[in-house]
Structure 1
């Protein structure tokens, strides 16, 4: 007679999420003075010198640091993005930023889904009413919705990572829409970072609201609208069949 293995406890399943919250809380207080534009401005010459002497190591360290910043929701994501452009140029700086943000986002997604998402998704599936219908609609059109959320950053990045985990979106869909959806914004902020040295030399601060200027947000809204086109076509077909 074989004895079945006991299921892991709820606490064990939530350990990654608990670790994420603890590190995020500690980092919010301990690292806020180090992950800032002031810290970058004061250490820019040392960073450039280290990059010139150890390019590959600097690139690996930067991507690892970016992953940690996103995964643990540490302060300094925007300065980190601009730093990618400042240290590595538009390319490969944008690629490093997008990779770091995507991997960090997937880690948050997996931690939340492991700790809370599966159980909550099962409860939603077992329920009736508006919440279930809304959740199912997002699942049915997950790629379009998530891609639009990434293109136009109306929701905070952390929130956009958590919501899909709570409603049972597939990891592959989440990762793909995150990677491709943040490319336009990643390129824009990396481009701002390319000129960061001149901005610091003039004693100014970078324009972080550039992504919401009409000539930039307009095309992004257009792309977001196009991403909803398959959803609209699908709805029309359902109505005709009905």
Structure 2
């Protein structure tokens, strides 16, 4: 519970997710770490979205609407689907990705659900990496070499999964921005 509260505060303060996610994998393992991080990031992201939507919407629209104007009508047609793609694709710093949907007046419920579901693949990969690091450190009396780290399935499988996610993200982005 303390970790989830810390994660929520971390997100509200604009912190980036990588340290929290790796730490969760290191301390809680793959499954609990993923659960705790997804819950914390989702609640924190939703809180930041609500805050930005209430207090910063005009500033955000002024800065970013021209760049994303072509997506506005698409979001209005199928808000939840586009938010799911937006969350799955990622590639934007987490704090910014939490406030950009203000441009499209995304419903809080759709923001919450898409964040909850869309973060799972990315979070699971990074938490698995943190869990793998913990396992390798635990199995060795001295610090493992970089080669030993990289050659461990606990490390290279999450890295391969990350590369696959990046490739899928690029493909989805091309489809998403093409239409």
Range into which the TM-score falls when normalised by the shorter chain: 0.7 to 0.9
| 2:163 aligned residue | 213
| 2:144 aligned residue | 202
Change (3 A) 1:199 1:213: farther
Alignment partners' CA distance in 2, 1:71 and 1:153: 18
| 1:158 aligned residue | 95
| 2:76 aligned residue | 139
Q: Secondary structure at the match of 2:56?
A: helix
**TM-score for the superposition, normalised by structure 2:** 0.73
| 1:67 aligned residue | 8
Q: Which has the higher helix share?
A: 2
Q: What are the residue-to-residue correspondences of 1:179-194 with 2, within 5 Å?
A: 179-194=116-131
Q: Which structure is larger by alpha-carbon Rg, 1 or 2?
A: 1
Change (3 A) 1:212 1:87: closer
Change (3 A) 1:115 1:83: same
Alignment partners' CA distance in 2, 1:154 and 1:131: 15
Structure 1 residue runs of 5 or longer lacking an equivalent are 1-59, 124-129, 229-234, 236-242
Relative contact order (alpha carbons < 8 A, sep ≥ 6): 1 or 2 greater?
Answer: 2
**TM-score for the superposition, normalised by structure 1:** 0.55
Quote how far apart the aligned CAs of 1:148 are.
1.4
Change (3 A) 1:116 1:83: same
Quote how far apart the aligned CAs of 1:180 are.
0.3
Kept in 1, the 8 Å contact 2:137–2:144? The answer is: yes
Which of 78, 85, 96 is 2:36 aligned to? 96
Q: CA RMSD in A?
A: 3.5
Alignment partners' CA distance in 2, 1:139 and 1:152: 19
Alignment partners' CA distance in 2, 1:131 and 1:99: 28
Alignment partners' CA distance in 2, 1:168 and 1:117: 9
Q: What are the residue-to-residue correspondences of 1:163-178 with 2, within 5 Å?
A: 163-178=100-115
Change (3 A) 1:67 1:203: farther
Quote how far apart the aligned CAs of 1:137 are.
2.6
